[in-house]
Structure 1
Amino acid sequence: MVVSRGRNPSAGEILTQLVQAKDLRDRVLITLGLLLLVRLGIYIPVPGIDRQAFQAFAAQGGSLLGFLDIFTGGGISALGVFALGILPFINASIIIQLLTSALPQLEDLQKNEGEAGRRKIAQYTRYVALGWGLFQSIVFALILRPYALPGTPDLVFVVQTAIALVTGSMVVMWLSEVITERGIGQGASLVIYLNIVATLPRALGSTIELAQTGGREAVGGIVVLVAVFLITIVGIVCVEEGSRRIPIVSAKRQVGGAGISARQSYLSLKLNAGGVMPIIFASAVVFLPLQIANFSKNPTLIQVASFLSPNSSTPWVYALLFFGLIIGFSFFYATLTVRPVDVASNLKRGGVAIPGVRPGSATTAYLTGIQNRLTLLGALFLGAVAIVPSAVESATRVQTFQGLGATSLLILVGVAIQTAKQLQTAVISQRYEGMVRQ
């Protein structure tokens, strides 16, 4: 097969390489096999629980339970040993990322210790995931205690349930790391992607049933909702791929007796630097008062929390609060991922400058202004994506896709783009290996 060095591989070339290249084929098979194992673990039941009683509770368990159930692929409602899934590891990664920005020791490990430092941070993340997973398992076991089978002592039930859940979570974390090392794509992201995709057949089946039984009004609402979802997906792709390319020029250098002329390249700043994290943080903050009120059984707290609920009589209050939190967390997360001071310092240290901008503090101010404008545009888009699909669902009264909101769409599109790029990179690597052998 004749291929071009200067273009991305086509679908035909990718399929050909998957068939012919043993290393690439093995990586894909390892990824698919381990993802299948993750799904099977969800259906291994946690012992000693009255499932029918718990599923009745889960059906009316509130937004947070449904929100978490999406990311575990139905594991929480199914009460499998992989019920917590990859959530403790994701939470631990967020905690470590925040601590890295706050603690100089962790920041030094990340920046100056190279691969050894990154391995230490990865090990710390595993320890935090174990501790956080144990805490979540105990809380979940206490929630499940009223649904234990008769004759099981409370302490025994809590201990055995917590051990089963935290062990399953650690197994999922290990499988995701194996996928990252020996498969294709980022393991934790693919596990979440798989769990979200696993809920789609049920949503599609409910939608088809509604179209068959709901009449013309229901069909019209479904068409409008699907159109909004498709437009949202296109917008997400554009924003995820969008970036601001800032031209940078390296100074002319003297190597030996020859001079190397200045070279121009680009510094790329992403339009949506925070990805899906601002929506996740905002969702957690919005749902937290409602869950605290439900657990406390305090009438005053329940009344205040229900006022901020999306199902209240004033949903615009929830929408404004959610929108404002997304914008705030977008700026907060952007400051963690991109630091103009560090970028300007690295450029100056490497003899690289932005044309028309003085090195040092002027470069920092220039990059800060650009980052703030990009973050504002990305935050406004995230806020619109988070609110518009839910508003359309309420207007059309089509609730079959409830739970598959902005967070799920962003994860699906982002992980698909990331995995496709890694697969293309692997195919290009195989292409050049073939050219070298020839």
Structure 2
Amino acid sequence: MKLTESIRNINKIPELRQRILYTLLLLFIYRLGSHITIPGVDASAVAGASSSHANDLFGLFDLFVGGAFARASIFSLGIMPYISASIIIQLLGAVTPYFQKLQQEGEEGRQKINQMTRLGTIFIAALQAWGVSVSLSSPSSFGHSVVPDPGFFFSLSAVIILTASTVFVMWLGERITEQGIGNGISLIIMIGILAGFPASLVNEYRSLSLGSKNWIIEIIILAMMVAIVAFVVLLTVGTRRVPVQHAKRVVGRKVYGGGTQYIPMRINTAGVMPIIFAQSIMFLPSTFLSFFPDSEAMQSVASIFAYDSWWYALMFGTMIVFFTYFYTAIAFNPKEVADTMRRQGGFIPGVRPGKSTADFIDNILTRITLPGAVSLALIAVLPTFLTKFANVTPGFAQFFGGTSLLIIVGVGLDTLQQVESHLLMRHYDGFMKAGKTRGRQAR
């Protein structure tokens, strides 16, 4: 079989094999740490109370950290503070001249930006850790006390441990990116999401076995979910090819150029980043409101940000559309593409080189980004509709729609593309018959 042969080829390449094993080792360390409880917390008491918090801050964090928050683990914050810091730095890069200058300074500027992102991660992690410690210490958060000895020293130790653990998870992600395979930060988020799949599957089966659901309706829902997964894959790999003609050049007795190439402009240029960015921003109000567990006014406001509320779905979808355009503008610069084409003697048929080419590419990018952004937003809020109208358990719905599915598909395809590149570079066939993953051609 083609898949079996590709796996054997991976084993024949020592560098690729070592990268994959190194990645798996670090991901195992991350999963192991998610089962270590914060000192001073009664783990059994937290586990017994976690089911009542499936749609608030508890469930929101728990989705991305693979149940670490429900276990009051040292990795409860996961990698989300780093994502939030990255969002802030990128926003500053779009509006602040100082950060724009750093972005143009090459490797030195990138190192300074990374250092600022790490410092921002520490600050945000400490803030969120304080909110977690307050929430754990308050009996009203869980109906009973989960911290036998709450107080200043518990809060201080919890903040230090959670912040240090977040920095360690950030380090794991950076090591995976540099020495492993795939994007480490994205893989950590994906592995946390996948960790909850077996339990969600069991809960859905229990609901069926107890007779609370109809088998026929469930089969129809599963068929719809399969179609949704296929649509997400098509959305992720879909491209709009722009033809580029190269002028012929005569060098000596040889003629160069004259062929036609294509610029593959992806419908979803931003990938999974708009989803991650929007989700990170949605964490912040819940984090702030967790500081006031005894305030009825604050808790009524917190209900607006509940995962199954209509206001949450509306705000979440709107932010995804915004971040899709924002991140696309950062990742794809039509002016740079037009300048590169002109230097290489290329042109788009019927379009003048220079500014006209840049405007033409920008117009196409704007038009194909709109349906991509709207599709991302609709898929992201789909679990809200499934849980309200189709009686699907929230945990199970996440894997066939919403943020979880988009992240799993996007990160999985990107990681597969990197493995594919290693195989093709050493003259081995990839996972697909054509030698490349369809729709993932190098850009």
* Distance verdict in 2 for CA 1:298–1:344, change over 3 Å: farther
Partner of 2:5: 13
TM alignment of 1:238-277, pairs within 5 A: 238-253=234-249, 260-277=256-273
Counterpart code for 2:365: Q
CA deviation after TM superposition for structure 1 residue 227, in Å = 1.9
Q: Is the 8 A contact 1:251 1:261 kept in 2?
A: yes
Unaligned ranges ≥5, structure 1: 1-8, 433-438
Which of 312, 325, 333 is 1:331 aligned to? Answer: 325
**DSSP-derived class of the 2:78 partner:** coil
Distance 2:324 2:74 in 1: 34
Q: Between 184-193 and 395-404, report the one with greater CA deviation.
A: 395-404
The yes-or-no answer on 1:82 pairing with 2:78 is: no
1:401 aligns with 2:396: yes
Counterpart of 1:3 in structure 2 is: none
**Which one of 154, 158, 164 corresponds to residue 157 of structure 1?**
154
After TM superposition, list the pairs within 5 Å mapping 1:172-211 onto structure 2: 172-211=169-208
Other-structure match for 2:341 = 347
1:7-51 CA-partner distances (Å, limit 9, x unpaired) = xx9423322223333332222211111111110001111101233
> What is the distance in 1 between the residues matched to 2:382 and 2:146?
40
- How far residue 345 of structure 1 moved from its aligned partner, in angstroms, is 3.7
Q: Distance in 1 between matches of 2:169 and 2:383?
A: 31
1:213 is aligned with what amino acid?
L
Supply the distance in 2 between the matched residues of 1:362 and 1:344 (Cα, whole angstroms). 9
The whole-number CA distance in structure 1 between the counterparts of 2:2 and 2:353 is 42
Match of 1:4 in 2: none
Shift of the 142–208 alpha-carbon distance from structure 1 to 2, 3 Å rule, reads same
Deviations 1:92-137 (A, max 9, x none): 2222322333334444444452x44434433333232223222222
Q: Distance in 2 between matches of 1:328 and 1:419?
A: 26
Kindly indicate whether the alpha-carbon contact (under 8 Å) linking 1:207 and 1:222 is maintained by their aligned counterparts in 2: no
Correspondences of 1:40-55 after superposition (within 5 Å)? 40-55=32-47
Alignment correspondent of 1:168: 165
SS in 2 for 1:76: coil
SS at match of 1:359: coil
SS at match of 2:353: coil
Equivalents in 1 of 2:31, 2:366: separation in Å?
Answer: 41
Deviation of 1:236 (Å): 0.9
Task: Give the one of 118, 121, 130 matched to 2:122.
Answer: 130
Which residue of structure 2 lines up, in the alignment, with residue 98 of structure 1?
Answer: 91
SS in 2 for 1:431: coil
**CA RMSD in angstroms, aligned pairs only:** 3.1
Go from structure 1 to structure 2 and tell me whether the alpha carbon gap of 1:284 and 1:110 turns closer, same or farther (over 3 Å shift): closer
SS state at 2:214 partner? helix
Specify whether residues 104 and 341 from structure 1 end up closer, same or farther in structure 2 by C-alpha distance, changes over 3 A only: farther
**CA apart distance, 1:341:** 3.4
Q: Does 1:387 align with 2:381?
A: yes
CA distance in 2, matches of 1:151, 1:157: 7
**Are 2:215 and 1:223 aligned?**
no
* Aligned CA distance change for structure 1 residues 284 and 123 (closer, same or farther; 3 Å): closer
TM-score (norm 2): 0.83
Q: Which is worse superposed, 400-409 or 74-83?
A: 400-409
Bigger fraction of residues in helix: 1
C-alpha deviation, 1:372, in angstroms:
1.4
Aligned equivalents of 1:177, 1:321: Cα separation in 2: 31
Write the letter of the residue equivalent to 1:77.
A
Identity of aligned residues (%): 35
Q: Which amino acid aligns with 1:429?
A: M
Residue 21 of structure 2: which of 26, 29, 34 is its match? 29
Question: Where does the alignment leave 5 or more consecutive residues of structure 2 unmatched?
Answer: 139-144, 429-443
> Aligned partners of 1:85, 1:283: CA distance in 2, in Å?
13
User: Once the 2 structures are TM-superposed, how far is the Cα of residue 150 of structure 1 from its aligned partner?
Assistant: 4.0
Question: 2: CA distance between counterparts of 1:181 and 1:291?
Answer: 31
TM-score, L = length of structure 1: 0.84
1:374 has 2:372 as partner: no
Q: Decide whether aligned partners of structure 1 residues 359 and 65 sit closer, same or farther in structure 2, where only a CA change above 3 A counts.
A: farther
2:178 and 2:27 mapped to 1: Cα distance? Answer: 14
State the match for 1:59 in structure 2. Answer: 51
- Secondary structure in 2 aligned to 1:184? coil
Give the Å deviation of 1:401.
1.5
Give the deviation of 1:193 after TM superposition. Answer: 1.2
The size of the alignment, in residue pairs, is 419
Q: Does the Cα contact within 8 Å between 1:73 and 1:196 map onto a contact in 2?
A: yes
Amino acid at match of 2:87: I
Alpha-carbon contact 1:86-1:192 (below 8 Å) kept: yes
Contact 2:128–2:287, Cα closer than 8 Å, also in 1: no
Q: Does 2:209 align with 1:212?
A: yes
Residue 233 (structure 2) aligns with: 237
| AA of the residue aligned to 1:336 | I
CA distance in 1 between counterparts of 2:306 and 2:14 reads 53
Residue among 354, 359, 362 paired with 1:365: 359
User: Residues 257 and 125 of structure 1: is their aligned pair in 2 closer, same or farther, counting only changes over 3 Å?
Assistant: farther
Change over 3 Å in CA distance of 1:241–1:267 after alignment to 2: same
> Secondary structure at 2:270's aligned position in 1?
coil
